[in-house]
Amino acid sequence: MTDSAPSPAAEDETGYALPLGTLDDARAMVGRRTPPRPAPAEVSWGRIQHFCSMTRDGNPSYWDPDIAKELWGGLVAPPAMLEAWLMPLEWTPTSAAPEPRLPARIPLPGRSMINGSNDTTFHRPVRVGDLLTVEEELLSVSDEKSTRLGDGHFVETLSVFRNQDGEVVAEVRNTLFRFTPREGS
Amino acid sequence: MSRAVTWAGVAAGASLPAVVDEITFRRVIMNPGATGDYFPGHYDRDYAQRQGQPTIYANSLHLFGLLDRTVTEWAGPASFLVRRHVRLVSSMYAGDTVTVSGVVSGKREDGADRLVDLALTMTSGDGRLICTAEVVVRFGTEG
């Protein structure tokens, strides 16, 4: 990254204050791993119920404490919720603007972003009561590409999730498209 | 939940029961509450349209949740998702009725692990491909 902090997008509507910068600014961040970032709170059954209610997922591993205890030693979280446990809160008593996750901190020209691909390997279940941490690394930033939504760059990141015992629960390789929407679309 | 398939009954080329789901505006907006992902494309139609999208769209975690549900409803609650590689082709929009289909692409044993490879696709009611996924699921030790 350059000495001067990248400026947030002038009229940022993403809620992430996406930093603007050049491809070189972005590529200067490749290869550095972020310090471990803890989740704001433990994995909770209430959030699991909320999510499974939305996806209509009746798997008793998420709903039935007795069956879950028999199968997993206790209630577990759906694998799809992995990233949900690390979502930053919008406000806390000690920070009005907690730092966004790495994919929203890459300086690039694009004012918007959308997800492109995700490759997750799960090593062990995430359980109710677990406190996860994540370490992130920027793997690559593509040259400028043109898509149906606009011109921009593909940003590939690696996230390694651990539980409170230091065990790796999952590794995520994600690619998102950071772009400026086409005018008049 | 009744187990839909046993390890012995898994055969390459077999189809999984399809999951069909109606993605209402309400459910798209439940998702930020359930996941904490308040990116405006998931609740603000004006923002989504400025992005070039017709309306608000679900976040990736909602898509993953429907893919995973399709797998574990078939493989049973003792199954464990080992890997899920998703390519997002378009978006799952509020108002879509989506269908998740899956086919067994392989079956193998790795040490004590009994693994099944699956190929999934999610499409909208009007035939738009939303995403494809390659999934590896580990079967439970019984059944």
Residue A3 lies in a domain: no
> Which of B39, B65, B77 is the closest to A67 by Cβ?
B77
Residue B7 lies in a domain: no
Residue B47 lies in a domain: yes
Distance, in Å, from the CA atom of A177 to the CA atom of A180, rounded to the nearest integer, reads 10
The number of folded domains in chain B is: 1
Q: Which residue of B has its CA nearest to A62?
A: B77
Residue B94 lies in a domain: yes
Residue A83 Cα, gap to closest chain B Cα (Å)? 8
Q: Which pLDDT value is given to residue A72?
A: 97
With cut-offs at 50, 70 and 90, classify the pLDDT of residue A5: very low
Q: Which residue of B has its CA nearest to A57?
A: B69
Residue A2 lies in a domain: no
pLDDT of A1 over the 50 cut: no
Domain CATH number, residue B105? 3.10.129.10
pLDDT digits (tens, 9 = 90+) for A143-177: 999 998 899 999 999 999 999 999 999 999 999 99
Q: Is the CB of A97 inside 8 Å of chain B's CB atoms?
A: no
Residue B109 lies in a domain: yes
pLDDT of A8 over the 60 cut: no
Domain CATH number, residue A68? 3.10.129.10
Residue B106 lies in a domain: yes
Please give the interface size between A and B, counted as residue pairs whose CB atoms are below 8 Å apart.
128
* Mean pLDDT, range A39-52, rounded to an integer: 97
Residue B5 lies in a domain: no
Report whether B81 contacts B68 (CB < 8 A). Answer: yes
Q: Which residue of A has its CA nearest to B35?
A: A84
Residue A143 lies in a domain: yes
CA-wise closest residue to A177 among A157, A158, A163: A157
Which structural domain range is residue A165 located in?
23-181
The number of folded domains in chain A is: 1
Residue B76 lies in a domain: yes
Residue A105 lies in a domain: yes
Q: Which pLDDT value is given to residue B3?
A: 55
pLDDT digits (tens, 9 = 90+) for A49-93: 999 999 999 999 999 999 999 999 999 999 999 999 999 888 888
Q: Is the CB of B128 inside 8 Å of chain A's CB atoms?
A: no
Residue A102 lies in a domain: yes
Contact residues, chain B, for A89 at CB < 8 Å: 36
B55 Rama sector, left if φ>0, alpha if ψ -120 to 50, beta otherwise: beta
pLDDT digits (tens, 9 = 90+) for B79-112: 999 999 999 999 999 999 999 999 999 999 999 9
Residue A54 lies in a domain: yes
B89 Rama sector, left if φ>0, alpha if ψ -120 to 50, beta otherwise: alpha
Residue A157 lies in a domain: yes
Which structural domain range is residue B57 located in?
15-138
Contacts by residues A93-100 (CB-CB < 8 Å, ≥ 24 positions apart): A97/A17, A100/A16, A100/A17
Residue B102 lies in a domain: yes
Residue A108 lies in a domain: yes
- The one-letter code for the residue type at B103 is V
